[in-house]
Chains A and B, each alone.
Chain A
Amino acid sequence: MLELVEQLRAGNRRALARLLSYIQDEHPEARAALAELYPFTGRAHRIGVTGSPGAGKSSLVNSLAHAYRARGRTVGIIAVDPTSPFSGGAVLGDRIRMRDLAGDRGVFIRSMATRGSLGGLARTTGDAVHALDAAGFDVILIETVGAGQSEVDIAREAHTTLVVEAPGLGDDVQAIKAGILEIADILVVNKADRPDAQNTVRALKAMLDLGRSQAGRAWHHGRLLDQSETPLHAEPDGEGWQPPIIESVATAGTGIDDLLAAIDAHRDYLQRSGSLARWERVHIEADLAARLQQALLADFVRAVGPATLRTTIDRLARRELAPSAAVDQLLDRTNHQAH
């Protein structure tokens, strides 16, 4: 067993921190360590926290972590912030709102930059969650970048996805656009002490009611996959889970007990309905697909070589060749079967 893995399994926080860096840097050591750690994963309850910038995600994560610690559960936190597309740098500021978790060895907070990934998480966030899971944390809170509509990767990484809204951040139409609200297992209206909070609650309720009238809510995590129609995803949701709306004031700890109860209820539902096992398979499938895509593309580009790629791009730019025909030609060259 790798020394790093041994240390991590023995509870060495420094080893965990180092592995998380290797994971983010896509260092070869990470690959070997994660392979050894994989059998120890799958235990933690993964809770995703997403929503608009300024909705109070970090404060909510802080309050939730506190509440779990009061119950004696250990908590790993991954807080994702965006990488600047111009410099490749990032300012990761989520710890500012988590300062009162400092000094508690039952909590481990790691900030991650997206490093070019667009779905609200970094490409390596899933591996980072595996590392925290294998390190033995009971609950893993994953905070996405401030997300609006299409940053829905979190639904593939979290058993329970919280979508956090706050009053006055957007008009009602924002709430009914497709995307982020559809991945919510639980909706949280934070800053619920604001006078216009009830408007937000009403808008979300109306939106949820509309959703319910479309009979037979699909297995929503499966919908994120590439249209795969395996029986796995077609399985009905049983009686289904209706996302509750929880009102909270994270900075004051108000509503956190309700939120914990809702998360527990969702976890129970996942277990009772068999959804947890299905989630696991969907999650694994999506992860495998992403890794295959990355590996196959890298392989393919290597096989074709830069000269051919350059020529192809030239011909595309001159409009001598259509993109779909270019793909067929490239695939033919490397004896891949296009279909």
Chain B
Amino acid sequence: MPERKLRVLVAKPGLDGHDRGAKVIARALRDAGMEVIYTGLRQTPEMIVEAALQEDVDLIGLSILSGAHMALAPRILELLRENDLAEVRVIIGGIIPEEDIAALKAMGIAGVYGPGSSTADIIADIHRMVGAAAE
């Protein structure tokens, strides 16, 4: 019966007050058999990384619609490294301009998903990212 469940933190940093997309993803990941820790709106990078530490998650999914991704993403990655959590993968969903995607990936964001992304693709990607990290 012992089984290693994937644990994912779904967080919404920044000030925009709209989390329907985040909830849809949380539910889709649940239906894919993952344990999703959902933290709600207006999370600071510090709060997100602390929750990731306490919950021992494999991956963090950030929902960012505010346009602040180029400030939030590096801060979160930096805090993860400071807390010895560099192996935790981070993906971003939301409205991200095409020209920022390469920069985000270069700084260590494992995946970026725009409004048209299919949840099946996201789930497959997560299994690939975390499966590789866990072995």
Contacts and interface: CB of A to CB of B under 8 A. Distances in A.
B1 interface: yes
B34 A89 contact: yes
B7 A14 contact: no
A87 B33 contact: yes
Given A84-B30, A111-B37, A18 B46 contact: no
A96 B32 contact: no
A162 to B, nearest CB: 23
A142 to B, nearest CB: 16
Interface stretch (B47-55, B66-74, B99-107, B124-132): B47-55
B35 A90 contact: yes
Interface stretch (A24-32, A248-256, A267-275): A24-32
A165 to B, nearest CB: 24
Q: Which of A18, A89, A110 has the most CB of B within 10 A?
A: A89
Q: Which of A20, A93, A95 has the most CB of B within 10 A?
A: A95
B55 A111 contact: yes
Contacts of B98: none
A103 B46 contact: yes
A102 B50 contact: yes
B32 A89 contact: yes
Given A90-B35, A92-B38, A103-B46, A17 B30 contact: no
Classify the interface of chain B: helix, strand, loop or mixed: mixed
A103 B2 contact: no
A89 B1 contact: no
B27 interface: yes
Contact of B39 (A20, A86, A96): A96
A89 B83 CA distance: 27
B40 interface: yes
Contacts of A87: 30-33
B20 interface: no
Contacts, number: 87
Given A99-B47, A102-B50, A89 B30 contact: yes
B2 A96 contact: no
B54 to A, nearest CB: 6
Given A27-B2, A91-B26, A103-B46, A113 B35 contact: yes
Contacts of A21: 7, 56
A89 B31 contact: yes
A95 B39 contact: yes
B119 to A, nearest CB: 13
B50 to A, nearest CB: 6
A27 B5 CA distance: 11
Given A25-B5, A102-B46, A18 B30 contact: no
A27 B7 CA distance: 15
A96 B47 contact: no
Contacts of A27: 2, 4
A88 interface: yes
Given A102-B46, A103-B50, A110-B55, A14 B83 contact: yes
Interface of A: 13-14, 17-18, 20-21, 24-27, 83-84, 86-93, 95-96, 99, 102-103, 108-111, 113, 115
Q: Which 8 A-B pairs have the closest CB atoms?
A: A96-B40, A89-B30, A26-B2, A17-B56, A102-B47, A21-B56, A89-B33, A88-B33
Given A17-B55, A87-B31, A90-B30, 9 more contacts: A87-B30, A87-B33, A88-B5, A88-B33, A89-B32, A91-B38, A96-B40, A99-B47, A103-B46
